């Protein structure tokens, strides 16, 4: 496991620019897992990441649809949000493999695209070990973004 130095973002624009830079280096098959409290900036990160891939359309959180597919960028982007799947679970309980299998989650992970997963911590035991984790922590007037590879 390797952890990169945290980045402090002082604005939405800085978070999006950081994510766009990360996307410019992403390759097919990458799995990017986003974690952080409500309002931390996961969706802002996802928007910046999509922009960095060249996605031209509007990017919003797939909270109610569970997944959005964007195919007009440099690589296809599968954007998941596991919050609704986990919303009714007791604290500390993980989403099970059958639930993720029902939405085709594992098939998407094997595709030659990039998977960006918000609230990935709810399925932490089912995420491949080669995933890159992006933790976004709310500070007083900024965000601390920490990247961990090969968790």
Q: Beta strand 77-81 with 67-70: parallel, antiparallel or unpaired?
A: antiparallel
C-alpha–C-alpha distance, residues 136 and 124, integer Å: 16
What does the domain layout of the chain look like in residue ranges?
2-149
Please tell me the CATH superfamily of domain 2-149, with its number. Answer: P-loop containing nucleotide triphosphate hydrolases (3.40.50.300)
Global pTM? Answer: 0.89
- pLDDT tens string 20-73: 999 999 999 999 999 999 889 999 999 999 999 999 988 877 666 788 999 999
Query: Rounded to whole angstroms, how far apart are CA atoms 65 and 62?
Result: 5
């Amino acid at each position: 496991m390797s952890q990169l130095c945290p980045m402090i973002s002082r604005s939405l624009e800085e978070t999006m620019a950081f994510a766009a830079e990360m996307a410019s280096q992403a390759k097919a098959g990458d799995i990017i897992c986003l974690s952080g409290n409500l309002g931390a900036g996961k969706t802002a990160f996802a928007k910046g990441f999509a922009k960095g891939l060249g996605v031209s359309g509007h990017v919003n959180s797939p909270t109610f649809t569970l997944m959005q597919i964007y195919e007009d960028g440099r690589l296809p982007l599968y954007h998941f949000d596991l919050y609704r799947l986990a919303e009714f679970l007791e604290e500390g309980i993980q989403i099970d493999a059958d639930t993720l299998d029902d939405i085709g989650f594992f098939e998407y992970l094997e595709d030659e695209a990039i998977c960006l997963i918000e609230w990935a911590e709810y399925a932490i035991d089912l995420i491949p070990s080669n995933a890159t984790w992006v933790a976004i922590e709310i500070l007083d007037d900024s965000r601390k973004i920490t990247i961990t590879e090969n968790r």
